[in-house]
Amino acid sequence: MTDIMGKVGMINGPVIRGEEMLGFKMREMVLVGEKKLLGEVISIEEGNGIIQVYEETEGLKKGEAIYSTGKPLSLKLGPGILQNIFDGIERPLKKMNDEFGNFIPEGIGLISLDEEKLWSIDILIHVGDLVKEGQVFAIVEETSLITHKIMVPIGVSGKVVQVKENGMYSIEEELAIVEDENGSRFPLKMYQEWPVRIPRPVKERLPIGRLLVTGQRVLDMFFPIAKGGTAAIPGGFGTGKTMTQHQLAKWSDADIIVYIGCGERGNEMTEVLEDFPKLIDPKTNKPIMERTVLIANTSNMPVAAREASIYTGITIAEYFRDMGYHVAIMADSTSRWAEALREISGRLEEMPAEEGYPAYLPTKLAEFYERAGYVSTLNEKEGSVTIIGAVSPAGGDFSEPVTENTKRFVNVFLALDRELAYSRHYPAINWLTSYSGYLETLRNFYEGELKEDIVGLRGKMLKLLFEENKLKDLILLVGEDVLPDEQRLVLEISKVIKIGFLQQNAFHKEDTFVPLKKQLEMIKTIDHLYERCLACIKKGIAISQVREPNLFEDVIKMKYTIPNDNLEGIEILNNNIDDYYDSLEEKYSK
């Protein structure tokens, strides 16, 4: 904290107008009032400044002092982040609960990582070595799943003049000292600080070309998300946004998950906090929390901290990306974040744009989503940040500003449908209005992994679903019985696609996560059934004979009856399809 001081001139909820603030800087972190509430300078004009405060301002008085810290709102990045649960400005909730009880008191400062815990460090550098920014100089086994790579802070490079032995150290101890060409010395600690609103630098942004495997068939085969990509999951109340993100957090093949509960109801965050510690990682059989960070900023927490929570999450994600990890961020939900922007903008008396949101809403959304990407890091490793943001349009109206603007900046749009959700079809992703812009960029990945033209097969299935949607209107007018048999077959196969492939049961051990190989075999089996049926119909065989109920039912149920690790049953099912239609064709050819 510096000697520079201002004073409180006006209080409007989380927004404070400060006076006598000539020595303050834009985006500087400040301490407000006797309780030293954390805040951030968001505007300065002629000695007056506007500050958004990240804590409750009840009891604050006009005339109280505002203290400069001389630095921007920053996070401590080091061992202790994983398995932790933070609030919107990286304060650990469990530690605060242990020290202060069930309610967070004001003025406790920017506590973050545990400064007393000792970590076992392997130091990789020696006296005389030349080091540069981003270089890994030590490693810590933070959890049994993740090795935490301690990096030289950005802006530091030079010659190692002092280094400690391997051993047990706290994050505040100096592990080494680096001297630059000017003779200035920089201590290397286990952590570094980084301003949340500034993207961390990388060596190079790389082309996107690897699938984020989720085990959810509707995503992996129909609307794929790429590692380093962006996705939005918009949907009205009760359509399953949070549950869909939970599934992605549990099962996606990202190395690290950052889950941001931004302005959500407390009971939803409670479910996350209770569920995640019990979950077992399917790849390692270890607790999934060992590779997860939770940021909880519920709807009753200070609104300004909600605005900051998104940046806290993305900064933590970039930090792990810089180590060479693939990170997935679940932001639930960006609508609540936008509402925080709207509330603060209203208190600032800014001119509102559409539906009261500030005119800079698109810019803010763009700044957030553009921090995703697949990169070559400063230490020449490959890493990525994938952003999956839930959007909660009021009344399920996708034409409202947050959804419309989000659509401009994401490449995957997973529109959740109320009718599907209410009919118990989950994930309730509407295949008619959703899309993915990564199909072509992932074509080589699919061909390399599965040796099949997934894009072509997917297009064929979607064509049947679109045709079925057109036929629905016709059926309402004339009934299904008057349709030609080929069109009635489209209706039957579409039902198999929807129930047997797109619908997925999160509570069934075989269906909650499905490997890519089984997904491929399932969709090929449905295609095989369709082609055999179509061939019979073209030979004049009636649809009543072609649609064999038991066979269709077996195809629908293969997601449950055939184990993920033993796909022999699919080959038997295909043989049964061939046997039935071979005999049917033979019977009608006589």
Q: What is the pLDDT of residue 590?
A: 62
φ, ψ for residue 29 (rounded to 5)? -80, 135
Peptide bond into 333 cis (omega under 30): yes
d(C-alpha 317, C-alpha 75), whole Å: 12
pLDDT tens-digit readout, 73-130: 899 999 999 988 898 888 888 888 888 877 777 777 778 888 899 999 999 999 999 9
pLDDT tens-digit readout, 382-438: 999 999 999 999 888 899 999 999 999 999 999 999 999 999 999 999 999 999 999
Q: What is the pLDDT of residue 46?
A: 85
Copy the structure tokens of residue 289. Answer: 């929390």
Chain mean position to CA 87 = 17
Q: What DSSP character marks residue 481?
A: G
| CA-based radius of gyration for the chain | 28
**Three-state DSSP class for 120?**
strand
User: Under a CB-based contact definition with an 8 Å cutoff, are residues 443 and 432 in contact?
Assistant: no
Burial class of 20 by CB neighbour count within 10 A (0 to 12, 13 to 18, 19+): middle
Q: What is the DSSP string of 377-404?
A: -TTS-EEEEEEEEEE--GGG-TTSHHHH
**Three-state DSSP class for 442?**
coil
pLDDT tens-digit readout, 510-528: 999 999 999 999 999 999 9
pLDDT tens-digit readout, 152-194: 999 999 999 999 999 999 999 999 999 999 999 999 999 999 9
Q: Which helix (H) or strand (E) holds 191?
A: none
Q: In the chain, what is the straight-line distance between the N-terminal and C-terminal CA atoms, in Å?
A: 95
Q: What is the mean pLDDT of residues 131-142?
A: 95
Copy the structure tokens of residue 390. Answer: 């839930």
Residue 132 has pLDDT above 90, yes or no: yes
Q: What is the pLDDT of residue 205?
A: 96
Q: What is the pLDDT of residue 1?
A: 59
pLDDT band at 289 (very low <50, low <70, confident <90, very high): confident
From start to end of 348-456, where are the E strands?
A: 373-376, 382-391, 412-413, 435-436
Q: What is the mean pLDDT of residues 201-208?
A: 96
Residue 317 has pLDDT above 90, yes or no: yes
Sign of the Cα torsion 521, 526, 527, 533 reads positive
Q: Residues 164, 165, 170, CA angle at the centre, nearest 5°?
A: 70
Instruction: For the chain, give the percent of residues with pLDDT over 70.
Output: 99
Q: What is the pTM of this model?
A: 0.94
Q: What is the pLDDT of residue 272?
A: 74
Count of alpha carbons within 13 angstroms of residue 297, beta-carbon side: 31
Q: What is the mean pLDDT of residues 222-230?
A: 97
What number of other Cβ atoms are within 10 A of residue 165's Cβ?
8
d(C-alpha 413, C-alpha 433), whole Å: 8
Copy the structure tokens of residue 146. Answer: 């993740």
User: Under a CB-based contact definition with an 8 Å cutoff, are residues 230 and 273 in contact?
Assistant: no
pLDDT tens-digit readout, 541-559: 999 999 999 999 999 999 9
Mean pLDDT of the chain: 92
